[in-house]
Amino acid sequence: MATERHYSPVDRLLLQADAALRTLLPFSGQPYRPSPALVQPEAELNAEDARHVAGLMRINHTGEVCAQALYQGQALTAKLPHVRTAMEHAADEEVDHLAWCEQRIRQLGSHPSVLNPLFYGLSFGVGAVAGLISDRVSLGFVAATEDQVCKHLDEHLTQLPIKDEKSRAILEQMRSDEAQHAASALEAGGFRFPAPIKFGMSLLAKVMTKSTYRI
């Protein structure tokens, strides 16, 4: 019968450092699934549309950086082994989104946000604190965060040029995955955050989106 491998505190810190490097270094995250954009035709975008789409994809890429950090922070401090495992599995799934967004940004002749290390550190800290409070709060934070991500993706889907089928395919798949993550977190016992807390989270999300659209 398979048993869970137990890591020492030092081992876990080293694993967290490795996860951070794989998240932040260019082209270091290898997706488990091929990008949905591969089967879509490339559209000719004018310079203005290309800059706008690159900005939207940069926001989404930074959002995935934050998601990685959040899950890793929660996994570090989660009290129940099955919750820790669930957080680590969710982080693995988010690697796909991270890689897809970066690939599309590069195709558009742009680059990920230079602010990613800052947002990674902040998100990791928030995730670790949530995990220290309780696993139920940690799972609830995942659900509330994914709800915010879905709202941003819905907004971005309406802003994409109609002919940019590659970016649309990526965002639609991300939207489906994020909604499933939110539902799974609540089904696992996550706390449903009240509206005032969700409103505060949306304000913080706007700071991230405004700052990373161009840089």
Are residues 209 and 191 in contact, defined by beta-carbon separation less than 8 angstroms? Answer: no
List residues forming the annotated binding site for Fe cation.
Answer: 64, 94, 97, 146, 178, 181
Q: Which residues are annotated as a binding site?
A: 64, 94, 97, 146, 178, 181
Range 207-213, long-range pairs (CB < 8 A, 24+ positions): 208/59, 208/62, 208/63, 208/66, 208/119, 209/59, 209/152, 211/113, 211/115, 212/58, 212/59, 212/62, 212/113, 212/115, 212/119, 213/55, 213/56, 213/58, 213/59
Residue 114 per-residue DSSP state: T
What count of other Cβ atoms lies within 10 Å of the Cβ of residue 80?
A: 14
